[in-house]
Structure 1
Amino acid sequence: MEVREIEQNYGESLYGIFHQVIKLNFHRAHQLLEKIGLHPGQAHLLGVIGHEEGISQNQLAKVLNIKPATVTGMIKKLEKAGFIKRKVDEADQRVMRVYTTEIGKELSLELKSYYNGIKKECFKNFTEDELVIFRRLLMQMKSNLEEITNKNLDNCNN
């Protein structure tokens, strides 16, 4: 089923508004993170590492859905800043495990507070029922995109 647009103007269309919300959320995160010298991608990476201490670099790439080389670059920057440390896996010398440092742990708590603030800003004036419906609709969009993305990837691999 196609989405029927009521307005002709892209900015007022359902997809246009959705796109604007994504951009505004990114810019709001950037405003807050700029104060501590992080980019939103770095903050997300640090959050995952803080939640999954000892995660491998390859696992990070899969969780974040980005290329391993990109993860390596981000890790090097966070390591240089003293937020994380890497250790070779004792059982498999080819695997590099990533951990937060004490400074990184403190920063992770601060980041959690920032993102909770953004979440509150985004969803203020929503009822619990509206949030449940909104979540269901977003999950459906995600499923739709995953389905078509996976089909396209399968076609490329054949």
Structure 2
Amino acid sequence: MEEKYGDSLYGIFSQVIKLNFYRAHKLLETIGLHPGQAHLLGVVGHNEGISQNQLAKTLNVKPATVTGMIKKIEKAGLIERKSDEQDQRVLRVYTTKEGKELSLKLKRFYDEIKKDCFKGFTDEELILFRRLLMQMKDNLVKINGEECSPGFSEL
């Protein structure tokens, strides 16, 4: 008998990714952010003064896309842009006090999701699972030829 996609290992893996995204999206909605905005805020918070161009590369989006994202988050008072002291053409991005406070809330959200996801796992199972995921990641990096930006919980 042929295994259905939804019951296959890859099908279950895809479902877990979707469910994790859905859970994160629902939590982020409560504070008025989208996943991409939360990711951007996390990257800026851990790289204060990052240039807009470097931020676009880190997020793997076009500079025009990151500019639009920044404008929305800047309008909300979570980040600010300042010209580089040595090169006025370069804009650097910083989190505001409100952005830092929201980042702490985001960390708590992601800690909650992580706790829920790994409920019932032993330490040994978590170590093995991490090793297997790292192997999958390495396989895909070799095929794609590039890394992706880290998720917020890694920042």
TM-score, L = length of structure 2: 0.89
Name the Cα RMSD after superposition.
Answer: 1.5
1:54 aligns to what? 49
2:6 aligns to what? 11
Match for residue 100 of structure 1 among 95, 99, 121: 95
Aligned partners of 2:61, 2:14: CA distance in 1, in Å?
Answer: 21
1:113 aligns to what? 108
1:34 aligns to what? 29
- 1:84–1:98 CA contact under 8 A, matched in 2: yes
1:71 aligns to what? 66
Count of aligned residue pairs for this structure pair: 146
Q: Which has the higher contact order (CA 8 A, sep 6+)?
A: 2
Aligned partners of 1:51, 1:28: CA distance in 2, in Å?
Answer: 23
TM-score, L = length of structure 1: 0.87
- Give the fraction of aligned pairs with identical amino acids, expressed as a percent: 75
Give 1:16 deviation, angstroms.
0.5
Unaligned runs of 5+ in 1: 1-5, 152-158
After the TM superposition, list the runs of 4 or more consecutive aligned residues in structure 1 that deviate by more than 3 angstroms. Answer: none
Unaligned runs of 5+ in 2: 147-155
Aligned partners of 2:16, 2:76: CA distance in 1, in Å?
Answer: 31
Residues 133-142 or 20-29, more deviating: 133-142
- 1:7–1:13 CA contact under 8 A, matched in 2: no
Counterpart residue type for residue 84 of structure 1: I
- 1:29–1:118 CA contact under 8 A, matched in 2: yes
Structure-2 change in CA distance of 1:133 and 1:34 (3 Å): same
